[in-house]
Chain A
Amino acid sequence: MAKQVTIFLENRPGRMKSISDILLEKNLNIWAFTIQDRGDFGLMKIIVDKPDQAQIVLAERGVACVLKDVLAVIVPDRPGNLEKLTTALLQKNVNIKDAYGFVCPTGKQGICYLEVENPAGIDLETVIAEHGFSILNDKELYDL
């Protein structure tokens, strides 16, 4: 599983910058991010090259943040693949709480980051592999 840093941010000017400032100081590299908006606040979710270090440095600065396990699924860039992936998870009754994805134009492949609820503890790596996708493990992810 990959690790995502989830950060509590107020919805006002300058808050995203404050996070990127801290990460820049430690020369940490952001690969993906998204924001879940909830009115007066939101959750910023980032994938960085060194998530543990990022979480520690942010927490030291008083930022409310946690590390969360997410599925980083490699999906070849072609029509119907998101449908295939979601079908695979639905068949196992796995709920997707939050998701974001993008395609790297150079690699011709996409990455989906999924926060899932998997109460039955299903081996999702195998399930996803059966449908022709692969999950990036930590090492692969951080060697991207």
Chain B
Amino acid sequence: MDIRFWNQEIETLAQKDLRQLQLTRLRELVGYAMKTPFYHKRLKKAGISSPEDIQDLEDLQKIPFTVKDDLRQAFPKGLLAVDMEQVVRIHSSSGTTGIPTVIYYTAKDLDRWTDLLARGIVATGAGPADVFQNMMSYGLFTGGLGLHYGAERVGLTVIPVGGGNTQRQLQLMRDFKTSVLHITPSYLLHIHQRMPEFRISPADLNLKKAWMGAEPHSENTRLKLQELYGIDIYNSYGLSEMNGPGVAFECAYKKDLHVWEDGYIIEIIDPATGKVLPEGQEGEVIFTNLIRHAMPLLRYRTRDLAFLHPEPCPCGRTGRRMSRITGRTDDMMIINGVNVFPSQIEEILMSIPEVGNNYQIHLTRKEGLDRLAVKVEIYSKLFTGDLSQLDALKAKINDKLRASITINSRIELHEPGALPAFEGKAKRVVDERDKL
């Protein structure tokens, strides 16, 4: 096996030294966190008023968890630890309906993040000779820009095409002999299904590998896609709260994802009690971001379920490996790589007077792509008896939803009382997608 490193010294740092480095960086981070209105208050309450109060890594557990809603409550600047003059980029959550979440980065934050991405890229064996076609969306979503800069740092030739437009993607792959892709599993499958239409087969292309992320998928999906294309596929994990992609990356062995533990502290907890679980047990993944100073996040609850492999990897990296994501502790849906909460859809629907009380969210998969159908009841009292009203209503719902969740949906209108009504915690999502 050809094992390559971007920064061998740090990637193979002895566990003891790695923990010491984490402690140093954690204390530095707590110093930054104390400068934010949000953590200043919260850490004080937990009995921490300076970095000196963190004596060892165990002290991390004194710090309360941070959750997504904290980011909303702190919007826009409650978690900002530096002057805006030092901030060089923001990313923002795509389309929460109420308050968005925002992530700030200094130039140094981006530099450190980019370096972690470079490690992931090199760990999969990619290098300056590769042509990299980045099919993740650019813009406020971190997936596109993150890998873009990482690949440039390593020296790959980057084609910053972004998502969508299958015909153009195939043409670019052929014209520039693309060797590496960054893509969601559903889109990779979709492209394969459409290849005959453009009279292209994987054999006509120069593809060697793909980094696959943004959507949970099974080992079987990886194996199937590897076979369909004749390439190596590596799993990648990230989230914007932890900078974006590249929090954990698979190495050449493809046996789950190395967490860059000098950049992030990972804990696995029991989501019900908040207690840290013994290594190897499955639970909710908690991250502390050690490399972003503009916006510190301590013990962030990802809501993702996974476990840590206790045994070392033959590649020699000492960063422990986390499993692929096995589930969620909340009701978040991932639709074509976009994170959507049912509550976002509900909020939009309930803001439209002509919509009645009950609704249902239907997810199906066709040609490798997710389809979202939203079924709503019409509100009798505002029914005018005109088809034009109903057509306009459908268009209005779709427009508002797309503005919020960035996804097109098929809107179905139903009679009042026709959809199942639920009491208490409603089960309004019907997911009929085959497992990827």
Q: Give chain B nearest CB distance to A55 CB in angstroms.
A: 11
B219 CB within 8 Å of chain A? no
Q: Give chain A nearest CB distance to B389 CB in angstroms.
A: 10
Check if A63 sits within 8 Å of B387, measured CB to CB. no
Q: Please name the residue on chain A nearest to B391 by beta carbon.
A: A38
> Given the complex, which residues of B lie within 8 Å of A8, measured CB to CB?
378, 383, 390, 413, 415
Besides the contacts A62-B380, A64-B415, what 13 more A-B pairs have beta carbons closer than 8 Å? A6-B385, A8-B378, A8-B383, A10-B418, A15-B415, A38-B387, A40-B412, A41-B414, A63-B380, A63-B416, A64-B380, A65-B383, A66-B383
30 A-B residue pairs with Cβ-Cβ distance under 8 Å, sorted by A, are A6-B385, A8-B378, A8-B390, A8-B415, A9-B415, A10-B415, A15-B415, A38-B387, A38-B390, A38-B391, A40-B412, A41-B390, A41-B413, A41-B414, A43-B387, A59-B380, A62-B380, A62-B415, A62-B416, A62-B417, A63-B415, A63-B416, A64-B378, A64-B380, A64-B416, A65-B380, A65-B383, A65-B385, A66-B385, A68-B385
Q: Which 6 A-B pairs have the closest CB atoms?
A: A6-B385, A64-B380, A66-B385, A64-B383, A62-B417, A62-B416
Cα distance, A6 to B384, chains bound together (Å): 9
A34 CB within 8 Å of chain B? no
> Given the complex, which residues of B lie within 8 Å of A86, measured CB to CB?
none
Which residues, 400 to 415 on B, are CB-close (under 8 Å) to A? Answer: 412-415
Cα distance, A34 to B384, chains bound together (Å): 17
Cα distance, A5 to B50, chains bound together (Å): 73
> What sequence of 0s and 1s flags, for each residue 366-392 of chain B, a beta carbon within 8 Å of any chain A beta carbon?
000000000000111001111100110
Cα distance, A6 to B418, chains bound together (Å): 18
Q: Please name the residue on chain B nearest to A45 by beta carbon.
A: B385
Q: Please name the residue on chain A nearest to B414 by beta carbon.
A: A10
Cα distance, A137 to B231, chains bound together (Å): 77
Interface size on A, residues (CB 8 A): 18
Asked whether A36 and B387 contact (CB < 8 A) given A8-B415, A41-B413, A64-B378, the answer is yes
Which residue, of B379, B386, B415, has the highest number of chain A Cβ atoms within 10 A?
Answer: B415
Cα distance, A99 to B378, chains bound together (Å): 25
Contact among A15, A40, A59, A66 with B413 in the assembled complex (CB-CB below 8 Å): A40
Cα distance, A40 to B418, chains bound together (Å): 13
> Given the complex, which residues of B lie within 8 Å of A41, measured CB to CB?
390, 413-414
Cα distance, A9 to B184, chains bound together (Å): 40
Cα distance, A59 to B412, chains bound together (Å): 21
Q: Give chain A nearest CB distance to B420 CB in angstroms.
A: 14
Q: Please name the residue on chain B nearest to A97 by beta carbon.
A: B386
Q: Which residues of A contact B (CB under 8 A)?
A: 6, 8-10, 15, 36, 38, 40-41, 43, 59, 62-66, 68, 97
Q: Give chain A nearest CB distance to B428 CB in angstroms.
A: 18
Cα distance, A8 to B418, chains bound together (Å): 12
> Given the complex, which residues of A lie within 8 Å of B380, measured CB to CB?
59, 62-65
Cα distance, A36 to B385, chains bound together (Å): 11
Cα distance, A97 to B386, chains bound together (Å): 10
Cα distance, A97 to B387, chains bound together (Å): 10
> Given the complex, which residues of B lie within 8 Å of A63, measured CB to CB?
380, 415-416
Q: Please name the residue on chain B nearest to A7 by beta carbon.
A: B385
> Given the complex, which residues of A lie within 8 Å of B417, measured CB to CB?
62
> Given the complex, which residues of B lie within 8 Å of A43, measured CB to CB?
385, 387
Q: Give chain A nearest CB distance to B359 CB in angstroms.
A: 15
> Given the complex, which residues of A lie within 8 Å of B414, measured CB to CB?
10, 41
Cα distance, A63 to B378, chains bound together (Å): 10
Cα distance, A109 to B166, chains bound together (Å): 60
Q: Give chain B nearest CB distance to A52 CB in angstroms.
A: 15
> Given the complex, which residues of A lie within 8 Å of B387, measured CB to CB?
36, 38, 43
> Given the complex, which residues of A lie within 8 Å of B378, measured CB to CB?
8, 64
Cα distance, A65 to B383, chains bound together (Å): 7
Cα distance, A15 to B415, chains bound together (Å): 10
> Given the complex, which residues of A lie within 8 Å of B412, measured CB to CB?
40
Q: Please name the residue on chain A nearest to B410 by beta carbon.
A: A40
Cα distance, A40 to B413, chains bound together (Å): 8
Q: Please name the residue on chain A nearest to B415 by beta carbon.
A: A10
Q: Give chain B nearest CB distance to A32 CB in angstroms.
A: 16
Which residues, 316 to 357 on B, are CB-close (under 8 Å) to A? Answer: none
Q: Please name the residue on chain A nearest to B413 by beta carbon.
A: A41
> Given the complex, which residues of A lie within 8 Å of B415, measured CB to CB?
8-10, 15, 62-64
Cα distance, A63 to B377, chains bound together (Å): 11
Q: Give chain B nearest CB distance to A35 CB in angstroms.
A: 12
Cα distance, A65 to B385, chains bound together (Å): 7
Q: Give chain A nearest CB distance to B159 CB in angstroms.
A: 40
Q: Give chain A nearest CB distance to B293 CB in angstroms.
A: 53
Q: Give chain A nearest CB distance to B153 CB in angstroms.
A: 51
> Given the complex, which residues of B lie within 8 Å of A6, measured CB to CB?
385
Cα distance, A21 to B21, chains bound together (Å): 76
> Given the complex, which residues of A lie within 8 Å of B416, measured CB to CB?
62-64
> Given the complex, which residues of A lie within 8 Å of B385, measured CB to CB?
6, 43, 65-66, 68
> Given the complex, which residues of B lie within 8 Å of A10, measured CB to CB?
414-415, 418
> Given the complex, which residues of B lie within 8 Å of A59, measured CB to CB?
380
